[in-house]
């Protein structure tokens, strides 16, 4: 039996890393809950501990058959696969959170970068780099973990919070480096090149993306956004009135807004924030004028977290003109949580309007 398993392992070993990586990705999609779910936090820490020990073994060039207890030595040939499973699970989780917090493009780019590292790790040339690619993958996931957790602990999402996350990440990476250096078999120069420097470069890379406003603002996410003719709050529920026909099912309310005299344009949004989160965000309107988008209004909104279906808030415009419009939900530092486009046209009709209603 053991011989058959070893033969199978040797025959298909080249495909294992990708298979386990994708396995971790699919497993996390099926089991992932809210970003503030304690189970997620525990599982993330477990993944980091397991893959961190394996990465340490690669950095120290351990002979696992000698390091592991006798009853665990049978897993030594599969530790590389275990590493990719853990990192795949972490990558899938953070990619899903990125996707929820911003556009799909940001998430796709993030996944593409990490998947590229994984594929390159299977190329002979990059295999000769040893654990460098694994170290970069570990740091990318670890930084994503830090920038997701710190805002939850503080209850705010702004530039100061992000810079604090960068500082915490760099401190932990340096602390780990110093602790590893105390091991008798440590090669200080090698650890600097394969662990410390990739970690610091990762921090600089994310800082650069943040300044470009590319990084999605996890842990916040826009669950719903729509344009409406009227809004009422009755007994804790929002009643939203619109005229959107059934065949335009992909629209959220009146994204083709037919405006009569005295109409207000209501922008309603439901925003997920984790438990204990209390902060200010902005609802911002823009209009296209001669091919360029010009800001019209920027309205602050205080949000509190914890509600499963998201914090509900709205803004409205009384002064507007015909044309193409966009409404954004943003953090204080200008990171986009979500947006919606709509068109306003003036109408001189006086017929009685029949309203449809959404309730949140």
Q: What pLDDT does residue 156 have? A: 86
Q: What pLDDT does residue 240 have? A: 95
Tokens 């939203």, residue located: 240
Q: What pLDDT does residue 275 have? A: 85
The winner for highest mean pLDDT among 65-74, 82-91, 110-119, 314-323 is: 314-323
38 vs 1, 44, 228, 293, CA distance in Å? 40, 10, 37, 42
Give φ, ψ of 193 to 5 degrees. Answer: -75, -35
Q: Give 173's pLDDT tier (boundaries 50, 70, 90).
A: very high
Q: What pLDDT does residue 1 have? A: 46
User: Which of 268 and 182 is assigned the larger pLDDT?
Assistant: 268
- Calculate the CA 170 to chain-centre distance: 20
Residue 104 pLDDT > 60: no
106: tokens are 């940001």
Residue 46 pLDDT > 70: yes
Asked whether the beta carbons of 130 and 79 are under 8 A apart, the reply is: no
Asked whether the beta carbons of 84 and 48 are under 8 A apart, the reply is: no
3-class SS at 260? coil
Euclidean distance between CA atoms 78 and 17, whole angstroms: 10
Number of Cβ within a 10 Å radius of residue 11: 9
Mean pLDDT calculated for residue range 260-264: 92
pLDDT digits (tens, 9 = 90+) for 132-168: 888 888 998 999 999 999 998 888 888 899 999 999 9
Q: What is the DSSP letter of 8?
A: H
169: tokens are 């990440």
Residue 322 pLDDT > 90: yes
Q: What is the DSSP letter of 167?
A: H
Asked whether the beta carbons of 346 and 226 are under 8 A apart, the reply is: no
Euclidean distance between CA atoms 92 and 21, whole angstroms: 9
User: Which of 25 and 215 is assigned the larger pLDDT?
Assistant: 215
Q: What pLDDT does residue 194 have? A: 87
Q: Boundaries of CATH 2.60.40.1930 in the chain?
A: 221-359
Find residue 222's DSSP bridge partners: 271
User: Which of 114 and 200 is assigned the larger pLDDT?
Assistant: 200
pTM over 0.85? The answer is: no
Phi-psi domain of 155 (left: phi exceeds 0; alpha: psi -120 through 50; beta: other): left
Residue 128 pLDDT > 70: no
Asked whether the beta carbons of 281 and 303 are under 8 A apart, the reply is: yes
**What CATH number was assigned to the domain covering residues 221-359?**
2.60.40.1930
Euclidean distance between CA atoms 222 and 99, whole angstroms: 10
Asked whether the beta carbons of 285 and 237 are under 8 A apart, the reply is: no
pLDDT digits (tens, 9 = 90+) for 177-219: 998 888 767 788 888 988 999 999 999 988 988 887 878 888 8
Identify the H or E element spanning 150. Answer: helix 132-154
């Amino acid at each position: 039996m053991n011989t058959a398993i070893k033969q199978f392992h040797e025959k298909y070993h080249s495909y294992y890393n990708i298979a386990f990586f994708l396995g971790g990705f699919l497993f996390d999609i099926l089991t992932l809950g809210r970003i503030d779910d304690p189970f997620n936090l525990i599982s993330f820490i477990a993944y980091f501990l397991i893959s961190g020990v394996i990465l340490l073994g690669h950095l120290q060039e351990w002979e696992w058959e000698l390091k592991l207890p006798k009853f665990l030595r049978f897993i030594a040939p599969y530790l590389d696969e275990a590493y990719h499973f853990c990192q795949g699970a972490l990558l899938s989780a953070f990619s899903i959170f990125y996707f929820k917090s911003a556009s799909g493009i940001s998430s796709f780019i993030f996944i593409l970068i990490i998947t590229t590292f994984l594929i390159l790790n299977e190329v002979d040339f990059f295999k000769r780099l040893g654990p460098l690619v694994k170290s970069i993958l570990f740091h990318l996931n670890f930084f994503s973990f830090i920038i997701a957790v710190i805002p939850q602990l503080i209850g705010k999402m702004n530039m100061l919070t992000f810079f604090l996350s960068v500082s915490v990440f760099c401190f932990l990476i340096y602390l780990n480096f110093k602790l590893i250096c105390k091991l008798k078999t440590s090669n200080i120069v090698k650890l600097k090149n394969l662990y410390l420097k990739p970690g610091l470069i990762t921090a600089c890379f994310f800082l650069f993306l943040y300044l470009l406003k590319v990084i999605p603002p996890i842990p916040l996410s826009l669950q719903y956004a729509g344009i409406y003719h009227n809004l009422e709050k009755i007994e804790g529920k929002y009643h939203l009135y619109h005229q959107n026909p059934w065949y335009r099912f992909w629209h959220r309310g009146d994204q083709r807004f037919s405006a009569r005299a005295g109409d207000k344009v209501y922008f309603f949004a439901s925003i997920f924030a984790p438990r204990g989160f209390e902060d200010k965000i902005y609802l911002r309107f823009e209009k296209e004028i001669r091919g360029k988008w010009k800001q019209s209004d920027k309205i602050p909104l205080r949000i509190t977290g914890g509600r499963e279906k998201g914090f509900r808030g709205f803004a409205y415009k009384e002064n507007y003109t015909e044309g193409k419009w966009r409404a954004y939900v943003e953090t204080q530092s200008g990171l986009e949580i979500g947006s919606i486009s709509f068109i306003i046209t003036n109408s001189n009709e006086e017929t009685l309007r029949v309203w449809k209603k959404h309730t949140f």
